[in-house]
Structure 1
Amino acid sequence: MRTAGDVEAVARAVDRLGYHALAFTEHPAPSKAWIDNAPGHPTFDILASLAFCAAVTEQVRLMTFLVVLPYHRPFMVAKALSTIDLLSRGRVTAVVGAGYLRAEFDALGVPFDQRNELLDEALEVLPEIWRGEPVSRSGRNFEAAEIVSQPMPVQPGGPPLWIGGNGRQARERAARSGGWSPLLIGPEAATRINTAAIAGIEGLAADIKGVRDRAQVLRGDRAHVEVQVLTPQARVMFEDHRPDEHREYLSALGDAGVDWFVVRVPGADAASVIESLEYYAAELML
Protein backbone atom coordinates (compact mmCIF):
# COMPACT_ATOMS: atom_id res chain seq x y z
CA MET A 1 0.00 0.00 0.00
CA ARG A 2 1.43 3.34 -1.03
CA THR A 3 -1.41 5.87 -1.34
CA ALA A 4 -4.16 7.33 0.82
CA GLY A 5 -6.70 5.55 -1.38
CA ASP A 6 -4.99 2.20 -0.75
CA VAL A 7 -5.01 2.67 3.02
CA GLU A 8 -8.62 3.84 3.06
CA ALA A 9 -9.86 0.96 0.91
CA VAL A 10 -8.07 -1.67 3.01
CA ALA A 11 -9.13 -0.10 6.33
CA ARG A 12 -12.77 0.01 5.22
CA ALA A 13 -12.56 -3.65 4.14
CA VAL A 14 -11.08 -4.71 7.49
CA ASP A 15 -13.91 -2.87 9.25
CA ARG A 16 -16.63 -4.27 6.97
CA LEU A 17 -15.44 -7.88 7.14
CA GLY A 18 -15.51 -8.13 10.93
CA TYR A 19 -11.82 -8.24 11.81
CA HIS A 20 -11.20 -7.18 15.39
CA ALA A 21 -8.25 -4.84 14.75
CA LEU A 22 -6.02 -3.32 12.12
CA ALA A 23 -2.42 -2.50 12.87
CA PHE A 24 0.65 -0.68 11.62
CA THR A 25 4.25 -1.32 12.57
CA GLU A 26 6.83 1.37 13.38
CA HIS A 27 10.08 1.91 11.52
CA PRO A 28 10.61 5.67 11.04
CA ALA A 29 14.28 5.43 10.02
CA PRO A 30 15.31 1.89 9.02
CA SER A 31 18.54 1.09 7.23
CA LYS A 32 18.62 0.12 3.56
CA ALA A 33 19.93 -3.30 4.61
CA TRP A 34 16.77 -3.84 6.69
CA ILE A 35 14.46 -2.63 3.90
CA ASP A 36 16.12 -4.96 1.38
CA ASN A 37 15.92 -8.12 3.52
CA ALA A 38 13.18 -9.97 5.40
CA PRO A 39 11.36 -8.84 7.44
CA GLY A 40 12.03 -5.35 6.05
CA HIS A 41 9.40 -3.35 4.19
CA PRO A 42 8.42 0.29 3.54
CA THR A 43 6.34 1.78 6.35
CA PHE A 44 3.95 4.63 7.01
CA ASP A 45 4.15 6.69 10.18
CA ILE A 46 2.35 4.53 12.72
CA LEU A 47 0.43 7.21 14.63
CA ALA A 48 -0.56 9.32 11.63
CA SER A 49 -1.81 6.18 9.86
CA LEU A 50 -3.96 5.10 12.80
CA ALA A 51 -5.45 8.59 13.03
CA PHE A 52 -6.29 8.42 9.33
CA CYS A 53 -7.91 5.00 9.78
CA ALA A 54 -9.93 6.27 12.75
CA ALA A 55 -11.68 8.66 10.36
CA VAL A 56 -12.63 6.02 7.78
CA THR A 57 -13.70 3.14 10.06
CA GLU A 58 -16.42 2.67 12.65
CA GLN A 59 -15.78 -0.36 14.83
CA VAL A 60 -12.41 -2.03 14.24
CA ARG A 61 -9.78 -1.49 16.92
CA LEU A 62 -6.75 0.60 15.97
CA MET A 63 -3.55 -1.12 17.06
CA THR A 64 0.11 -0.20 17.21
CA PHE A 65 2.00 -3.39 16.38
CA LEU A 66 4.20 -2.22 17.74
CA VAL A 67 5.17 1.29 18.75
CA VAL A 68 8.79 1.51 19.91
CA LEU A 69 8.35 3.61 23.03
CA PRO A 70 12.05 4.50 23.42
CA TYR A 71 11.80 6.43 20.13
CA HIS A 72 9.28 8.83 21.71
CA ARG A 73 9.15 11.34 24.55
CA PRO A 74 6.47 9.97 26.91
CA PHE A 75 4.28 13.10 26.97
CA MET A 76 4.28 13.34 23.15
CA VAL A 77 3.35 9.71 22.51
CA ALA A 78 0.76 9.87 25.30
CA LYS A 79 -0.85 12.88 23.61
CA ALA A 80 -0.88 11.21 20.20
CA LEU A 81 -2.38 7.95 21.46
CA SER A 82 -4.98 9.68 23.65
CA THR A 83 -5.99 11.91 20.72
CA ILE A 84 -6.50 8.92 18.42
CA ASP A 85 -8.41 7.17 21.21
CA LEU A 86 -10.66 10.19 21.63
CA LEU A 87 -11.26 10.69 17.91
CA SER A 88 -11.97 6.98 17.38
CA ARG A 89 -14.32 6.86 20.39
CA GLY A 90 -12.10 4.54 22.39
CA ARG A 91 -10.71 2.06 19.85
CA VAL A 92 -6.94 2.20 20.45
CA THR A 93 -4.81 -0.71 21.69
CA ALA A 94 -1.12 0.12 22.14
CA VAL A 95 1.21 -2.83 21.63
CA VAL A 96 4.62 -1.51 22.67
CA GLY A 97 8.19 -2.69 22.75
CA ALA A 98 11.84 -1.80 23.24
CA GLY A 99 12.95 -2.02 19.60
CA TYR A 100 15.91 -3.86 18.11
CA LEU A 101 17.38 -1.95 15.15
CA ARG A 102 20.54 -0.24 16.37
CA ALA A 103 20.91 1.79 13.14
CA GLU A 104 17.42 3.19 13.62
CA PHE A 105 18.16 4.18 17.22
CA ASP A 106 21.31 5.93 16.00
CA ALA A 107 19.41 7.79 13.27
CA LEU A 108 16.84 9.00 15.81
CA GLY A 109 19.44 10.02 18.38
CA VAL A 110 18.22 7.54 21.02
CA PRO A 111 20.78 5.52 23.03
CA PHE A 112 20.36 1.88 22.01
CA ASP A 113 21.76 0.63 25.32
CA GLN A 114 19.10 2.55 27.26
CA ARG A 115 16.11 1.15 25.37
CA ASN A 116 14.86 -1.10 28.18
CA GLU A 117 15.12 1.63 30.79
CA LEU A 118 13.31 4.08 28.48
CA LEU A 119 10.57 1.54 27.84
CA ASP A 120 10.03 0.83 31.53
CA GLU A 121 9.95 4.54 32.33
CA ALA A 122 7.32 5.16 29.64
CA LEU A 123 5.20 2.25 30.86
CA GLU A 124 5.20 3.83 34.31
CA VAL A 125 4.34 7.36 33.29
CA LEU A 126 1.82 6.83 30.46
CA PRO A 127 -1.06 5.74 32.76
CA GLU A 128 -0.30 8.74 34.99
CA ILE A 129 -0.47 11.12 32.05
CA TRP A 130 -3.75 9.60 30.85
CA ARG A 131 -5.46 10.31 34.17
CA GLY A 132 -5.56 13.97 33.20
CA GLU A 133 -4.14 15.11 36.52
CA PRO A 134 -0.89 17.02 37.17
CA VAL A 135 2.21 14.87 36.72
CA SER A 136 5.48 15.75 38.43
CA ARG A 137 8.48 13.51 37.86
CA SER A 138 11.96 13.45 36.39
CA GLY A 139 12.81 11.13 33.53
CA ARG A 140 15.79 10.23 31.41
CA ASN A 141 14.68 12.61 28.68
CA PHE A 142 12.11 14.87 30.37
CA GLU A 143 11.43 16.99 33.43
CA ALA A 144 7.75 17.36 34.35
CA ALA A 145 6.49 19.82 36.95
CA GLU A 146 2.69 19.82 37.37
CA ILE A 147 2.17 18.91 33.70
CA VAL A 148 -1.41 18.15 32.62
CA SER A 149 -2.49 16.31 29.46
CA GLN A 150 -6.09 16.98 28.45
CA PRO A 151 -8.50 16.08 26.95
CA MET A 152 -8.28 12.59 28.38
CA PRO A 153 -8.64 9.40 26.31
CA VAL A 154 -12.07 7.78 26.11
CA GLN A 155 -10.94 4.47 27.63
CA PRO A 156 -10.64 4.72 31.42
CA GLY A 157 -6.95 4.70 32.29
CA GLY A 158 -6.04 5.17 28.64
CA PRO A 159 -5.51 2.70 25.79
CA PRO A 160 -4.58 -0.84 26.88
CA LEU A 161 -0.81 -1.35 26.91
CA TRP A 162 0.26 -4.76 25.59
CA ILE A 163 3.92 -5.77 25.58
CA GLY A 164 5.62 -7.13 22.47
CA GLY A 165 8.52 -9.55 22.74
CA ASN A 166 9.32 -13.03 24.00
CA GLY A 167 12.04 -12.60 26.60
CA ARG A 168 11.95 -12.60 30.38
CA GLN A 169 11.70 -8.83 30.64
CA ALA A 170 8.84 -8.72 28.12
CA ARG A 171 6.92 -11.41 30.03
CA GLU A 172 7.38 -9.55 33.32
CA ARG A 173 6.14 -6.31 31.75
CA ALA A 174 3.16 -8.14 30.27
CA ALA A 175 2.21 -9.56 33.65
CA ARG A 176 2.21 -6.02 35.04
CA SER A 177 0.42 -4.35 32.12
CA GLY A 178 -2.24 -6.94 31.30
CA GLY A 179 -1.36 -7.67 27.67
CA TRP A 180 1.28 -9.76 25.87
CA SER A 181 2.07 -9.98 22.16
CA PRO A 182 4.71 -12.69 21.59
CA LEU A 183 6.02 -14.11 18.33
CA LEU A 184 6.04 -17.87 17.79
CA ILE A 185 9.48 -18.10 16.19
CA GLY A 186 12.55 -20.31 16.28
CA PRO A 187 16.12 -19.45 17.29
CA GLU A 188 17.29 -18.09 13.92
CA ALA A 189 14.43 -15.61 13.50
CA ALA A 190 14.59 -14.69 17.18
CA THR A 191 18.27 -13.78 16.90
CA ARG A 192 17.54 -11.38 14.02
CA ILE A 193 15.16 -9.31 16.14
CA ASN A 194 16.98 -9.64 19.46
CA THR A 195 14.38 -11.68 21.33
CA ALA A 196 13.96 -15.23 22.66
CA ALA A 197 12.68 -18.20 20.70
CA ILE A 198 9.48 -20.01 21.74
CA ALA A 199 9.37 -23.79 21.41
CA GLY A 200 6.15 -24.33 19.46
CA ILE A 201 2.60 -24.16 20.75
CA GLU A 202 3.49 -26.22 23.83
CA GLY A 203 6.22 -23.76 24.75
CA LEU A 204 3.86 -20.86 24.11
CA ALA A 205 1.23 -22.42 26.37
CA ALA A 206 3.77 -22.77 29.18
CA ASP A 207 4.89 -19.15 28.76
CA ILE A 208 1.29 -17.88 28.74
CA LYS A 209 0.56 -19.77 31.94
CA GLY A 210 3.71 -18.32 33.49
CA VAL A 211 2.74 -14.76 32.54
CA ARG A 212 -0.80 -15.14 33.84
CA ASP A 213 0.36 -16.75 37.08
CA ARG A 214 2.82 -13.90 37.56
CA ALA A 215 0.06 -11.35 36.87
CA GLN A 216 -1.99 -12.79 39.73
CA VAL A 217 1.00 -12.48 42.04
CA LEU A 218 1.53 -8.86 41.02
CA ARG A 219 -2.05 -7.65 40.57
CA GLY A 220 -4.27 -10.06 42.48
CA ASP A 221 -6.21 -13.25 41.84
CA ARG A 222 -8.56 -11.66 39.31
CA ALA A 223 -5.75 -10.25 37.15
CA HIS A 224 -5.90 -11.24 33.49
CA VAL A 225 -3.47 -10.95 30.59
CA GLU A 226 -4.75 -10.69 27.00
CA VAL A 227 -2.49 -12.63 24.61
CA GLN A 228 -2.02 -11.91 20.92
CA VAL A 229 0.39 -14.02 18.89
CA LEU A 230 2.11 -13.72 15.52
CA THR A 231 3.08 -17.10 14.07
CA PRO A 232 4.36 -18.43 10.72
CA GLN A 233 0.72 -19.26 9.95
CA ALA A 234 0.11 -15.50 9.65
CA ARG A 235 0.93 -15.90 5.93
CA VAL A 236 1.11 -19.66 5.31
CA MET A 237 -2.65 -20.18 5.37
CA PHE A 238 -2.96 -18.03 2.23
CA GLU A 239 -0.51 -20.29 0.41
CA ASP A 240 -1.67 -23.82 1.27
CA HIS A 241 -5.47 -23.17 1.25
CA ARG A 242 -6.35 -25.87 3.76
CA PRO A 243 -9.09 -24.22 5.86
CA ASP A 244 -9.75 -27.21 8.15
CA GLU A 245 -6.09 -27.46 9.13
CA HIS A 246 -5.90 -23.74 9.80
CA ARG A 247 -9.02 -23.83 11.98
CA GLU A 248 -7.49 -26.72 13.93
CA TYR A 249 -4.34 -24.63 14.35
CA LEU A 250 -6.37 -21.70 15.67
CA SER A 251 -8.17 -24.03 18.08
CA ALA A 252 -4.81 -25.31 19.34
CA LEU A 253 -3.69 -21.73 19.94
CA GLY A 254 -6.93 -21.07 21.79
CA ASP A 255 -6.33 -24.12 23.98
CA ALA A 256 -2.84 -22.74 24.69
CA GLY A 257 -4.43 -19.53 26.01
CA VAL A 258 -4.21 -17.24 22.97
CA ASP A 259 -6.93 -14.60 22.59
CA TRP A 260 -5.83 -12.87 19.36
CA PHE A 261 -4.21 -14.24 16.18
CA VAL A 262 -2.33 -11.87 13.85
CA VAL A 263 -3.19 -12.16 10.13
CA ARG A 264 -0.54 -10.85 7.70
CA VAL A 265 -2.34 -10.38 4.42
CA PRO A 266 -0.45 -10.87 1.14
CA GLY A 267 -1.05 -8.76 -1.94
CA ALA A 268 0.85 -6.55 -4.36
CA ASP A 269 -1.81 -3.84 -4.34
CA ALA A 270 -4.90 -2.78 -2.40
CA ALA A 271 -7.26 -4.85 -4.57
CA SER A 272 -5.34 -8.08 -3.99
CA VAL A 273 -4.98 -7.33 -0.26
CA ILE A 274 -8.75 -6.89 -0.02
CA GLU A 275 -9.28 -10.12 -1.97
CA SER A 276 -7.09 -11.92 0.60
CA LEU A 277 -9.00 -10.31 3.47
CA GLU A 278 -12.29 -11.47 1.95
CA TYR A 279 -10.95 -15.00 1.49
CA TYR A 280 -9.77 -15.25 5.10
CA ALA A 281 -13.03 -13.84 6.49
CA ALA A 282 -15.13 -16.25 4.43
CA GLU A 283 -13.06 -19.44 4.67
CA LEU A 284 -10.78 -19.28 7.69
CA MET A 285 -12.10 -16.95 10.35
CA LEU A 286 -13.52 -18.77 13.36
Structure 2
Amino acid sequence: VGLAAVAAGTSDIRLLTYAAVLPYRNPFLLAKAVATLDVVSEGRVILGVAAGYMEAEFRALGVDFAQRNALFDECLAVLKQAWTGEPVHYRGKAFEADGNVALPVPEQRPHPPVWIGGNGPGTRRRVVAHAQGWMSMPNPRTRTWREHTSPPLENVADLRVLLDELHQAADLAGRKEPIDVVHSLRDAPKDRAELVDHLLALRAAGVTWVTVNGAGRTPEEAADRIRAFGAEVIAPVHAA
Protein backbone atom coordinates (compact mmCIF):
# COMPACT_ATOMS: atom_id res chain seq x y z
CA VAL A 1 0.00 0.00 0.00
CA GLY A 2 2.79 2.40 0.91
CA LEU A 3 4.70 1.74 -2.31
CA ALA A 4 1.51 2.15 -4.34
CA ALA A 5 1.10 5.63 -2.85
CA VAL A 6 4.73 6.44 -3.66
CA ALA A 7 4.24 5.14 -7.21
CA ALA A 8 1.25 7.44 -7.70
CA GLY A 9 3.17 10.49 -6.50
CA THR A 10 6.44 9.95 -8.38
CA SER A 11 7.66 9.18 -11.86
CA ASP A 12 11.33 8.20 -11.68
CA ILE A 13 12.41 6.65 -8.38
CA ARG A 14 12.63 2.87 -8.02
CA LEU A 15 10.31 1.11 -5.56
CA LEU A 16 12.09 -1.43 -3.34
CA THR A 17 10.57 -3.80 -0.82
CA TYR A 18 13.12 -3.99 2.00
CA ALA A 19 12.53 -6.79 2.58
CA ALA A 20 9.51 -8.99 1.94
CA VAL A 21 9.91 -12.13 4.06
CA LEU A 22 8.78 -14.81 1.60
CA PRO A 23 7.86 -17.53 4.14
CA TYR A 24 5.20 -15.15 5.55
CA ARG A 25 3.43 -14.81 2.20
CA ASN A 26 1.39 -16.79 -0.29
CA PRO A 27 3.49 -16.58 -3.47
CA PHE A 28 0.49 -16.46 -5.82
CA LEU A 29 -0.94 -13.42 -4.03
CA LEU A 30 2.48 -11.79 -3.80
CA ALA A 31 3.14 -12.36 -7.51
CA LYS A 32 -0.10 -10.58 -8.41
CA ALA A 33 0.54 -7.69 -5.99
CA VAL A 34 4.09 -7.13 -7.24
CA ALA A 35 3.06 -7.36 -10.90
CA THR A 36 0.21 -4.90 -10.36
CA LEU A 37 2.53 -2.42 -8.66
CA ASP A 38 5.05 -2.84 -11.48
CA VAL A 39 2.38 -2.03 -14.06
CA VAL A 40 1.04 0.96 -12.10
CA SER A 41 4.57 2.33 -11.63
CA GLU A 42 5.52 1.67 -15.27
CA GLY A 43 8.26 -0.80 -14.40
CA ARG A 44 9.93 0.67 -11.32
CA VAL A 45 9.63 -2.20 -8.83
CA ILE A 46 12.56 -4.05 -7.26
CA LEU A 47 11.47 -7.00 -5.14
CA GLY A 48 13.75 -7.26 -2.11
CA VAL A 49 13.17 -10.55 -0.29
CA ALA A 50 14.55 -12.50 2.65
CA ALA A 51 14.01 -15.80 4.45
CA GLY A 52 13.48 -14.09 7.81
CA TYR A 53 15.20 -14.54 11.14
CA MET A 54 12.82 -13.39 13.91
CA GLU A 55 11.38 -16.57 15.36
CA ALA A 56 8.74 -14.66 17.35
CA GLU A 57 7.28 -13.25 14.14
CA PHE A 58 7.05 -16.74 12.63
CA ARG A 59 5.18 -17.95 15.73
CA ALA A 60 2.81 -14.98 15.57
CA LEU A 61 2.00 -15.76 11.94
CA GLY A 62 1.70 -19.51 12.45
CA VAL A 63 4.65 -20.30 10.17
CA ASP A 64 7.20 -22.99 11.01
CA PHE A 65 10.50 -21.21 11.63
CA ALA A 66 12.48 -24.40 10.93
CA GLN A 67 10.99 -24.56 7.43
CA ARG A 68 11.79 -20.97 6.45
CA ASN A 69 14.48 -21.82 3.90
CA ALA A 70 12.38 -24.47 2.18
CA LEU A 71 9.42 -22.07 2.12
CA PHE A 72 11.62 -19.33 0.70
CA ASP A 73 12.78 -21.55 -2.16
CA GLU A 74 9.24 -22.66 -2.99
CA CYS A 75 7.93 -19.10 -2.91
CA LEU A 76 10.65 -17.85 -5.23
CA ALA A 77 10.03 -20.69 -7.69
CA VAL A 78 6.28 -19.99 -7.73
CA LEU A 79 6.77 -16.24 -8.18
CA LYS A 80 8.82 -16.68 -11.31
CA GLN A 81 6.34 -19.12 -12.81
CA ALA A 82 3.36 -16.91 -11.96
CA TRP A 83 4.95 -13.86 -13.58
CA THR A 84 5.03 -15.58 -16.98
CA GLY A 85 1.27 -15.09 -17.34
CA GLU A 86 0.99 -18.73 -18.38
CA PRO A 87 -0.92 -21.45 -16.50
CA VAL A 88 1.08 -22.57 -13.47
CA HIS A 89 1.27 -26.27 -12.69
CA TYR A 90 3.18 -26.72 -9.47
CA ARG A 91 3.46 -29.32 -6.72
CA GLY A 92 5.49 -28.38 -3.68
CA LYS A 93 5.42 -29.21 0.00
CA ALA A 94 3.62 -25.99 0.92
CA PHE A 95 2.01 -24.73 -2.30
CA GLU A 96 0.40 -26.20 -5.38
CA ALA A 97 -1.38 -24.98 -8.49
CA ASP A 98 -3.39 -26.63 -11.25
CA GLY A 99 -3.25 -24.27 -14.19
CA ASN A 100 -3.70 -21.04 -12.23
CA VAL A 101 -2.98 -17.85 -14.19
CA ALA A 102 -1.82 -14.65 -12.47
CA LEU A 103 -2.60 -11.38 -14.25
CA PRO A 104 -1.42 -8.77 -14.95
CA VAL A 105 2.10 -9.77 -15.91
CA PRO A 106 4.82 -7.38 -14.70
CA GLU A 107 5.82 -4.41 -16.84
CA GLN A 108 9.47 -5.51 -16.57
CA ARG A 109 10.16 -8.72 -18.43
CA PRO A 110 10.68 -11.45 -17.58
CA HIS A 111 10.03 -10.01 -14.11
CA PRO A 112 11.11 -7.20 -11.75
CA PRO A 113 14.66 -7.49 -10.39
CA VAL A 114 14.85 -9.76 -7.34
CA TRP A 115 17.30 -8.81 -4.59
CA ILE A 116 17.88 -11.32 -1.79
CA GLY A 117 18.90 -10.17 1.68
CA GLY A 118 21.12 -11.97 4.17
CA ASN A 119 24.77 -12.72 4.82
CA GLY A 120 24.91 -16.50 5.02
CA PRO A 121 26.45 -18.70 2.32
CA GLY A 122 23.02 -20.10 1.47
CA THR A 123 21.78 -16.60 0.66
CA ARG A 124 24.68 -15.93 -1.65
CA ARG A 125 24.14 -19.26 -3.43
CA ARG A 126 20.52 -18.27 -4.03
CA VAL A 127 21.58 -14.88 -5.33
CA VAL A 128 23.93 -16.45 -7.87
CA ALA A 129 21.32 -18.96 -9.02
CA HIS A 130 18.09 -16.97 -8.90
CA ALA A 131 18.47 -13.22 -8.30
CA GLN A 132 19.71 -9.98 -9.74
CA GLY A 133 21.03 -8.49 -6.51
CA TRP A 134 22.35 -9.20 -3.02
CA MET A 135 21.29 -7.09 -0.02
CA SER A 136 24.02 -7.36 2.60
CA MET A 137 22.97 -6.81 6.21
CA PRO A 138 25.16 -5.13 8.89
CA ASN A 139 25.86 -7.79 11.52
CA PRO A 140 28.07 -6.96 14.54
CA ARG A 141 30.52 -9.57 15.74
CA THR A 142 29.02 -9.52 19.24
CA ARG A 143 25.62 -10.51 17.87
CA THR A 144 27.14 -13.16 15.62
CA TRP A 145 28.96 -14.75 18.53
CA ARG A 146 26.01 -14.55 20.90
CA GLU A 147 23.31 -15.83 18.56
CA HIS A 148 25.40 -18.02 16.23
CA THR A 149 23.95 -16.16 13.26
CA SER A 150 25.38 -15.50 9.81
CA PRO A 151 28.92 -14.17 9.21
CA PRO A 152 29.88 -10.83 10.78
CA LEU A 153 29.55 -7.71 8.68
CA GLU A 154 30.51 -4.55 10.51
CA ASN A 155 33.02 -2.87 8.17
CA VAL A 156 34.16 -2.69 4.55
CA ALA A 157 36.81 -5.37 5.10
CA ASP A 158 34.11 -7.83 6.20
CA LEU A 159 32.06 -6.90 3.15
CA ARG A 160 34.98 -7.56 0.82
CA VAL A 161 35.32 -11.09 2.23
CA LEU A 162 31.66 -11.85 1.54
CA LEU A 163 31.84 -10.23 -1.90
CA ASP A 164 34.84 -12.37 -2.81
CA GLU A 165 32.81 -15.45 -1.86
CA LEU A 166 29.86 -14.19 -3.92
CA HIS A 167 32.00 -13.61 -7.00
CA GLN A 168 33.72 -16.98 -6.61
CA ALA A 169 30.32 -18.69 -6.45
CA ALA A 170 29.22 -16.80 -9.57
CA ASP A 171 32.36 -17.84 -11.42
CA LEU A 172 31.91 -21.48 -10.43
CA ALA A 173 28.31 -21.37 -11.64
CA GLY A 174 29.36 -19.79 -14.93
CA ARG A 175 27.18 -16.76 -14.29
CA LYS A 176 27.82 -13.83 -16.65
CA GLU A 177 24.99 -11.52 -15.56
CA PRO A 178 26.22 -8.80 -13.17
CA ILE A 179 24.95 -8.83 -9.59
CA ASP A 180 23.83 -5.63 -7.89
CA VAL A 181 25.22 -5.26 -4.38
CA VAL A 182 23.14 -3.34 -1.86
CA HIS A 183 24.44 -2.21 1.52
CA SER A 184 22.69 -0.51 4.43
CA LEU A 185 24.08 2.70 5.92
CA ARG A 186 22.47 1.88 9.27
CA ASP A 187 25.81 1.79 11.11
CA ALA A 188 27.67 4.25 8.86
CA PRO A 189 29.51 7.34 10.20
CA LYS A 190 27.28 10.30 11.06
CA ASP A 191 29.82 12.95 10.12
CA ARG A 192 29.17 13.98 6.52
CA ALA A 193 32.81 13.98 5.39
CA GLU A 194 33.43 10.59 6.99
CA LEU A 195 30.25 9.27 5.39
CA VAL A 196 31.39 10.39 1.94
CA ASP A 197 34.69 8.55 2.47
CA HIS A 198 32.76 5.49 3.66
CA LEU A 199 30.58 5.51 0.55
CA LEU A 200 33.62 5.81 -1.69
CA ALA A 201 35.14 2.78 0.04
CA LEU A 202 31.90 0.84 -0.45
CA ARG A 203 31.85 1.76 -4.13
CA ALA A 204 35.45 0.64 -4.52
CA ALA A 205 34.56 -2.68 -2.87
CA GLY A 206 31.79 -3.29 -5.41
CA VAL A 207 28.64 -1.87 -3.81
CA THR A 208 26.21 -0.52 -6.42
CA TRP A 209 23.35 0.69 -4.19
CA VAL A 210 22.98 1.81 -0.57
CA THR A 211 19.89 2.07 1.60
CA VAL A 212 19.39 5.17 3.73
CA ASN A 213 16.85 6.01 6.42
CA GLY A 214 15.21 9.20 5.21
CA ALA A 215 12.40 9.20 7.74
CA GLY A 216 11.30 12.30 9.65
CA ARG A 217 8.67 13.22 12.20
CA THR A 218 6.72 14.95 9.43
CA PRO A 219 6.73 14.59 5.64
CA GLU A 220 8.35 18.02 5.41
CA GLU A 221 11.16 17.00 7.77
CA ALA A 222 11.73 13.80 5.81
CA ALA A 223 11.91 15.74 2.53
CA ASP A 224 14.41 18.17 4.05
CA ARG A 225 16.61 15.30 5.28
CA ILE A 226 16.55 13.64 1.87
CA ARG A 227 17.45 16.89 0.09
CA ALA A 228 20.31 17.53 2.53
CA PHE A 229 21.63 14.01 2.04
CA GLY A 230 21.56 14.50 -1.71
CA ALA A 231 23.45 17.78 -1.56
CA GLU A 232 25.94 16.93 1.19
CA VAL A 233 26.61 13.24 0.50
CA ILE A 234 25.38 11.98 -2.86
CA ALA A 235 26.68 14.92 -4.87
CA PRO A 236 30.25 14.71 -3.48
CA VAL A 237 30.32 10.94 -4.06
CA HIS A 238 29.20 11.35 -7.67
CA ALA A 239 31.77 14.08 -8.18
CA ALA A 240 34.65 11.99 -6.80
The two structures have a TM-score, normalised by structure 2, of 0.90
Offset at 1:187? 2.1
1:187 maps to amino acid: R
Instruction: Give the residue type in structure 2 aligned to 1:276.
Output: R
Kindly indicate whether residue 178 of structure 2 is the aligned counterpart of residue 229 of structure 1: no
User: Does residue 229 of structure 2 align to residue 280 of structure 1?
Assistant: yes
Q: Secondary structure at the match of 1:163?
A: strand
Letter in 2 for 1:226: D
In structure 2, relative to structure 1, the CA distance for the partners of 1:123 and 1:226 (3 Å cut) is: same
| Alignment pair present for 1:118 and 2:71 | yes
**Greater mean deviation of Cα atoms: 132-141 or 69-78:** 132-141
Q: Which amino acid aligns with 1:196?
A: P
Structure 1 residue 125, shift from structure 2 partner: 2.1
The answer to whether 1:207 aligns with 2:162 is yes
- 3-state DSSP of counterpart to 1:253: helix
Structure 1: give runs of 5+ residues left out of the alignment: 1-47
Deviation at 1:269, TM superposition (A): 2.6
Asked if 1:217 is matched to 2:172, the reply is yes
> Structure 1 residues 128 and 219 mapped into 2: Cα distance closer, same or farther (>3 Å)?
farther
Supply the AA of the counterpart residue of 2:232. Answer: E
Give secondary structure in 2 for the equivalent of 1:141.
Answer: coil
Q: Tell me the CA shift for residue 266 of structure 1.
A: 5.1
Q: TM-score, normalised by structure 1?
A: 0.76
2:24 partner letter: Y
Q: Decide whether aligned partners of structure 1 residues 270 and 251 sit closer, same or farther in structure 2, where only a CA change above 3 A counts.
A: same
Amino acid at match of 1:218: A
Report Cα offsets for 1:159-202 as digits up to 9, x if no partner. Answer: 11111011111111111212100123312345679443125212
1:180 counterpart = 2:134: yes
Distance 2:148 2:75 in 1: 21
How far apart in 2 are the matches of 1:267 and 1:132? 40
- Residue 151 of structure 1 corresponds to which residue in structure 2? 104
How much has 1:89 moved relative to structure 2?
Answer: 0.5
RMSD: 1.9
Partner of 1:132: 85
Q: Given the alignment, which residue of 234, 251, 265 partners 2:200?
A: 251
Q: What is the CA–CA distance in structure 1 between the aligned matches of 2:229 and 2:151, rounded to whole Å?
A: 30
Aligned residue pairs, count: 233
Query: Where does structure 2 lack aligned partners over 5 or more consecutive residues?
Result: none
Distance 1:218 1:269 in 2: 47
Separation (CA, whole Å) in 2 of partners of 1:192 and 1:54: 38
Q: Using the alignment, how far apart are the partners of 2:215 and 2:44 within structure 1?
A: 25
